[in-house]
Amino acid sequence: MAVVVQLSDPHVWRRGEYLYGELDTAASLEAAVRRVNALPQPPDLVLVTGDLINDGTMHEYGHVIDLLDKLDAPWRALVGNHDNAVNAAQALAADGHLLDPAGYDWAQPCSGVIDLADVRIVGLNTARPELLNSGLLDDRDLLAAARAFADRPDATKVIALHHPPVAVGLAAMDAMRLAPESAARLGDVVRNEGVAAVWCGHLHRATVTLWNGAVVTSCPSTSHAIASDLRPAAPLTVSDESPGFLVHRFADGQLSSHVVVVGEFKSVIVDPNR
């Protein structure tokens, strides 16, 4: 069995300051880290799918590293549209927190491969500064991903990236997803290589979509949520819903994903026969 916790979109900001004047994103991430450390089944890995920080500064990276280093499990990260890939590489690569290229010829510095038991996770960097908020993949990304999966034909195959390749009905966020041409070509890889799951961030809430034979899940943010407004012209609205994360469990050839809400809750063990 293998267990992976997925955190996403912490948007850690300057120490002692609130994002948008309202949101203590550092405190929210601290609470999420405590919740992860308290899980009854400790994860083998924590994967952060982008937007570790809000403005891409080295100061922010120092802050988020301090917070994530409180995790009991090892952690790795991909970049998102709010990250700065150069600063992320400088801040994170020395300690191995960026996904390791593992000998593959990646186009970007923040991509790589993780092997856990019978699972192969391929991380892709979809962030491009020139696109501001949307995502993109190029030929080398797609070819390297296909080759990485071809090298482990019997593995359960997972792609991790920041930008979702699908529209989910959140109008403002759908306009900032992975570029349609990139998504179509990634879909070819997913279908041809038998990818089981695609893990995304960016949407700041949990969604599930069946796409090219794979289950696409987006992870709730450890910071703020994007309001669940499915009107076609809904404005981009931030909500202070409880933070959360995903727990992915691989066992007996199956993958299950669980949403965990961060907060203080009562629990009691009950007898199922009563």
Query: What CATH number has the domain bearing residue 64?
Result: 3.60.21.10
The tally of domains found in the chain comes to 1
* Alpha-carbon distances of 240 from 55, 88, 142, 237, rounded to whole Å: 20, 27, 36, 10
Global confidence as pTM: 0.94
Is residue 32 domain-resident? yes
Q: Which residues, 6 or more positions from 21, have their beta carbon under 8 angstroms from its beta carbon?
A: none
Q: What is the pLDDT of residue 99?
A: 66
Mean pLDDT of 74-85: 92
In a domain, 269, yes or no: no
- Show the domain range for 153: 2-261
- Asked if residue 178 belongs to a domain, the reply is yes
Is 90 a residue whose pLDDT tops 90?
no
39/45 Cα distance (integer angstroms): 13
The pLDDT assigned to 171 comes to 97
pLDDT value at 96 more than 80: no
User: Quick check: is 274 in a domain?
Assistant: no
Hunting for tokens 């892709």 — which residue is that? Answer: 124
Beta pairing, strands 244-251 & 2-7: antiparallel
Beta bridge partners of 208: 217
Does residue 272 sit within a domain? no
The yes-or-no verdict on residue 237 having pLDDT over 80 is yes
Over residues 52-69, the mean pLDDT reads 94
- Closest CA relative to residue 157, chosen from 125, 115, 185: 115
Contact call for residues 42 and 3 (beta carbons, < 8 A): yes
222, part of any domain: yes
Q: Which residue has better confidence, 17 or 51? A: 51
Tens-digit pLDDT profile for residues 176-233: 999 999 999 999 999 999 999 999 999 999 999 999 999 999 999 999 999 999 999 9
In three-state secondary structure terms, 156 is strand
State residue 103's pLDDT score: 38
Measured on CA atoms in the order 86, 238, 223, 44, is the torsion positive or negative? negative
Per the listing, tokens 């970049």 go with 79
- Assigned domain for 16 exists: yes
- 169 in a structural domain: yes
Check if the beta carbon of residue 244 is closer than 8 Å to that of residue 258: no
C-alpha to C-alpha distance for 12 and 25, rounded to whole angstroms: 5
Tell me the C-alpha distance between 216 and 200, whole Å: 7
- Tell me which residue of 166, 179, 178 sits closest to 207, measured CA to CA: 166
* Residue of 185, 150, 144, 191 whose CA lies nearest to 165: 185
